[in-house]
Homo-oligomer: A and B are copies of this chain.
Amino acid sequence: MPGTLPAAPQLIALDWGTSSLRAYLLGENGACLAQASGAFGILKVADGGFDATYVRVCESWQRDYGPLPVLASGMIGSRQGWLEAPYVPCPATPAQIAASLASLEASDGARIHIVPGLSCRDAQGVPDVMRGEETQLLGAIGTRDDALWVLPGTHSKWARSRSETLLDFTTYMTGELYAVLCGHSILGRLMPAATRSDAAAFARGVGYGLSTGADLSRKLFSARTLGLFGELPAEGLADYLSGLLLGAEIRDALSRSPAATEIGLIGEPGLCERYGAALEIAGVRAHAVPGDAAARGLWRVAVAAGLV
């Protein structure tokens, strides 16, 4: 029923990650007119099935309102995705990112444009990368001079921006460490099957993680010993470990941005809430960025690229 839309569609925006695909039909000023999503992430689509997946998700939009330009971000642009969009080095502006889109023609004749990931190097010259998060960041950054952002997840990203420029970023393997330690280490074996949320244990973990003078591999053993000494209930161990990992991440990240007094959180609401609580313990305010940042970022790139 194309006539029911409040405005003319101008762009199909795809947030296409490892586990899921979120599709947005965007109209004037990036207003979201319709959306669709499914478990069609690049790890879940069989060999070469990206074109068929795109057609299945978007064919009614293209038929009813097309032909529309398509802009995608996320792991779909990785080496394992549909078409590799090489990393753009930081600092990067929306214009630089828009100038580096990869593109291909889908079987329905539509032009598919893919947003590149970003790279940067630390003081030791070691590279870091993001793919998908750069678009979420472009959907979040405003006109503030200097801002600090966290995108919590399996591999958390901390990014700095100045006005519209993404300056640099760092990745922490916090979420993956938490998962493998709970699932496969002695710490996980100490956790009872029936855990409960334990805010005090979480806060204690954050506090110890924030403390200076010890690296993470040393702090981790506290999750073993505090239980052994009866100073932490087994039911709270998972929350303690979560807090410990977040605290260590936050300490490291804040040491790189000592002037930061407020941080924008971008991501899944439950995870952002945990980070917000940990940041509060660290004495830093955090605000959650409204959802669908990727859709807003895709619109921004589309404008910069002249697609809309």
Question: Chain A: residues with CB nearer than 8 A to chain B?
Answer: 119, 122-124, 126-129, 155, 170-174, 176-177, 180-181, 183-186, 208, 211, 213-218, 220-222, 225-226, 228-229, 231, 245, 248-249, 251-252, 255-256
Contact = CB atoms under 8 A, between A and B. Distances in A.
Give 9 nearest A-B pairs by CB, closest first.
Answer: A215-B252, A216-B216, A171-B221, A127-B225, A180-B180, A172-B217, A126-B222, A180-B184, A173-B220
A66 to B, nearest CB: 35
12 contacts: A126-B226, A129-B225, A171-B218, A171-B221, A172-B221, A177-B217, A180-B185, A183-B184, A214-B252, A216-B216, A217-B245, A217-B249
Nearest to A228: B129
Nearest to A214: B252
A222 to B, nearest CB: 5
A176 B180 contact: no
Given A176-B185, A183-B184, A217 B252 contact: yes
This chain: copies in complex? 2
Contacts of A128: 221-222, 225
A129 B226 CA distance: 10
Contact of A217 (B174, B213, B225): B174
Contacts of A173: 185, 217-218, 220-221
A212 to B, nearest CB: 10
A287 B217 CA distance: 24
Contacts of A211: 124
Contacts of A220: 173, 177
A263 to B, nearest CB: 17
A127 B170 contact: no
A248 B217 CA distance: 8
Contacts of A256: 213
Q: A217, A229, A256: which has the most chain B beta carbons within 10 Å?
A: A217
A229 B222 CA distance: 36
A172 B174 CA distance: 17
Nearest to A246: B217
A183 B181 CA distance: 11
A277 to B, nearest CB: 18
A225 B129 CA distance: 7
